[in-house]
Amino acid sequence: MTVRIVTDSACDISLDEAAQLNVKIVPLSIRFGEEEFTDLADITVTEFYEKMEASDLLPATAAPSPGAFENAFRKCHEEGASGVVCINLSIALSATGQAAQLAAEGVEDLIEVACVDSMSITAGLGTIIRKAAEAANSGASVEEIVALVEDLRSRTRIIATLDTLENLKKGGRIGGAAAMLGSLVQIKPCLDLSSGEVVEAGRQRTRKKACQWLRDELSKAGDVEAVTIIHGNSPDVQEFHTSLADIVPIDQIRVSQLGAVIGTHGGPRVLGLTFLVK
């Protein structure tokens, strides 16, 4: 049995790595006003941040069409797959998962497709995809991979500090952090997205204190694995990386720049962590 993994571009895995993992990525779209770009194809991560910095317009995202997922599923079938596990960004934050499910129903007579809500985003989703792909490439069944994903998502933690809530507010993804809007002047909002939704986790008065909060949360988590620093062109990412050395060995910490999809809503200079609790 050959099972393939399909995901979306919110996983922040490069196309090169996806090819090595035998994973298909269905891209979301990024809009700046009337301009629309297909993520990973029409705009690079570097170009996205340059454009966001230069533009007065806040970017927006759009989910892939069911047809885009159906094309990916059909391609897996043509390449010899007997089943597909499609793992998408949190359904609470995007219509992407619904589009994948509609596509799965459209090919149910051709190939088995199981759609799973990762309840995650960015490197949290990326970690789940890597481990699911390793299982698939080792011969695991659809059912075994779905069970693995459900276990991984229950142990995935995502925390971050933002420089501004403006992008989240304008993008309609602010969720449980809405109460912070009226009181924020120079305060750095701290968020927990481990449930798949945006939840207020604290408020710090300076960037330095916000970074310390991230450090403390990682330290309190106990035995962890797959630690990744996530950032949106953050100038202090290297300094923050070094500061974690007494918690997790530096060479065991991945550093990942937020792609355009999550960077759109997080805004510039986001800094955060994703990890698995054991």
- 39 DSSP assignment: B
| Residues with Cβ within 8 Å of residue 272, at least 6 apart in sequence | 158, 159, 160, 161, 214, 229, 230, 231
Q: How far is CA 224 from CA 62, 70, 155, 229, 258, in A?
A: 33, 36, 9, 13, 21
Residue 212 pLDDT exceeds 90: yes
Q: Give me the pLDDT at residue 167, please.
A: 53
- 10 DSSP assignment: G
Q: State what percent of residues in the chain have pLDDT above 70.
A: 91
- 42 pLDDT band, cuts 50/70/90, is very high
Q: Give me the pLDDT at residue 171, please.
A: 47
Residue with tokens 């310390």: 212
What value, to the nearest 5°, has the Cα angle with vertex 95 and ends 150 and 265?
Answer: 95
In terms of DSSP H, where are the helices of the chain? 15-21, 45-54, 66-78, 96-106, 122-137, 142-155, 166-171, 207-220, 237-243, 260-266
pLDDT digits (tens, 9 = 90+) for 61-71: 999 999 999 99
pLDDT digits (tens, 9 = 90+) for 239-276: 999 999 999 999 999 999 999 999 988 878 899 999 99
Q: Give me the pLDDT at residue 79, please.
A: 96
Q: How far is CA 258 from CA 45, 47, 103, 136, 191, in A?
A: 8, 13, 27, 26, 16
For residues 33-43, give the mean pLDDT: 94
Residue with tokens 């065991």: 252
Does the pTM surpass 0.85? The reply is yes
Residue 221 pLDDT exceeds 70: yes
Q: Give me the pLDDT at residue 182, please.
A: 46
pLDDT digits (tens, 9 = 90+) for 10-35: 999 999 999 999 999 999 999 999 99
Q: Give me the pLDDT at residue 243, please.
A: 97
In contact, 258 and 48? CB cutoff 8 Å = no
Q: Give me the pLDDT at residue 268, please.
A: 82
For residues 60-97, one letter each, b for 16 or more C-beta atoms within 10 angstroms of the residue's C-beta and e for the rest, the string is bbbbbebebbbbbbeebbeeebebbbbbbbbbebbebb
pLDDT digits (tens, 9 = 90+) for 169-197: 554 444 555 545 445 556 788 999 999 99
The domains located in the chain, with CATH, are: 3-154 (3.40.50.10170), 156-277 (3.30.1180.10)
For residues 219-239, give the mean pLDDT: 96
Q: Give me the pLDDT at residue 89, please.
A: 97
Q: Give me the pLDDT at residue 52, please.
A: 87
Q: Of the candidates 149, 2, 28, 157, which has an alpha carbon nearest to the alpha carbon of residue 81?
A: 2
Q: State what percent of residues in the chain have pLDDT above 90.
A: 81
CA distance 54 to 40: 20
For residues 38-55, give the mean pLDDT: 91
Q: Give me the pLDDT at residue 165, please.
A: 61
Residue 38 pLDDT exceeds 90: yes
